[in-house]
Amino acid sequence: MDNLTKYETDLIEHLRKDANEVKDCFTQFSFQVIAVSAVALGLIARFQPTFPLLGLTSICVVLMALSVGRIGTYKYGTANRIHGYELYLERVRRLRDSPGWKKSYREVGWEEAVRAWRTVQPTIFRYYYHWGDNTRNSLKAEHAKLRYPWFEPAKLHALGSVYYAGSYLRTMLSILFMIVALGLTSMAAMVVQLVVGNSLVQAAAVAVAVVVVTVIVIAKIRQLSQRRRLLEGGILCIHSCAIMWQLVVVAHHRALTSLEGYDGYFDRFIRGVYI
Compute the distance between CA of residue 113 and CA of residue 88 in angstroms, rounded to an integer: 12
Backbone φ and ψ of 91, nearest 5°? -75, -45
For position 68, what pLDDT does the model report?
A: 97
- Does position 265 have pLDDT exceeding 80, yes or no? no
Q: Which structural domain range is residue 126 located in?
A: 6-242
Contact 232, 100 (CB under 8 A): no
Q: Is residue 116 part of a domain?
A: yes
What is the amino acid identity at position 275? I
pLDDT at 258: 64
> pLDDT band at 94, cuts 50/70/90?
confident
pLDDT band at 16 (very low <50, low <70, confident <90, very high): very high
Write down the pTM of the prediction: 0.88
Domain annotation covers residue 273: no
14-23, 142-151, 171-180, 243-252, range with the lowest pLDDT: 142-151
pLDDT digits (tens, 9 = 90+) for 170-199: 999 999 999 999 999 999 999 999 999 888
Work out the burial of residue 232: count CB atoms within 10 Å of its CB; fewer than 13 is exposed, 13-18 middle, 19 or more buried.
Answer: buried
Number of domains in the chain: 1
Residue-level pLDDT at 223: 92
Range 120-129 average pLDDT? 90
Q: Does position 17 have pLDDT exceeding 60, yes or no? A: yes
- Residues in contact with 83: Cβ distance below 8 Å, sequence separation at least 6, in sequence order: 19, 238, 241
In a domain? residue 105: yes
Is 230 part of a structural domain of the chain?
yes
Cβ contact 258:269 at 8 Å: no
67 in any annotated domain: yes
